[in-house]
Amino acid sequence: MLSTDERIEVVGLAESGDEAVTQADDLEPDVVLMDISMPGLNGVEATRRIVATRPEARVLMVTGSDAQEDVEAARTAGAAGYMTKDRIAAELVVAILDAAA
């Protein structure tokens, strides 16, 4: 879905939290989409590590959980935003562009 929007360039896809951290360091994206539930290193800890090493990167949590404790954990880890997966695609694109700005 994101690769069809000409304003967005998808530069990587990680299948685990550890891989997300490595790719964020290697690929230097402006915005990282992160799920809380990731194999290995969870998304909150991966976010914390990405923000610590690349403070200019913006991490958006895109997850199925709307639990308040998950929202707070994501913000504490340094996430720039939090969206549940049930939001429509257009809202996700706007959130990515806002985070990049």
Q: What is the mean pLDDT of residues 6-33?
A: 95
Percent of all residues in the chain with a pLDDT value above 70, rounded to a whole number: 96
Q: Which fold has domain 2-100?
A: Rossmann fold (3.40.50)
Q: What is the mean pLDDT of residues 12-32?
A: 96
Shortest CA distance to 44 belongs to which of 22, 61, 64, 66?
61
pLDDT band with cut points at 50, 70 and 90 for residue 90: low
- CA-CA distance, 90 to 47, in Å (whole number)? 24
| pLDDT surpassing 80 at residue 77 | yes
User: Model's pTM, two decimal places?
Assistant: 0.84
CA 36 to chain CA centroid, nearest Å: 9
| pLDDT surpassing 90 at residue 30 | yes
CA 99 to chain CA centroid, nearest Å: 10
Shortest CA distance to 100 belongs to which of 52, 45, 60, 64?
60
Residue with tokens 């429509």: 88
Q: Order across the sheet with 58-63: list the strands.
A: 31-34, 58-63, 81-84
Which helix (H) or strand (E) segment is 19 a member of?
helix 17-27
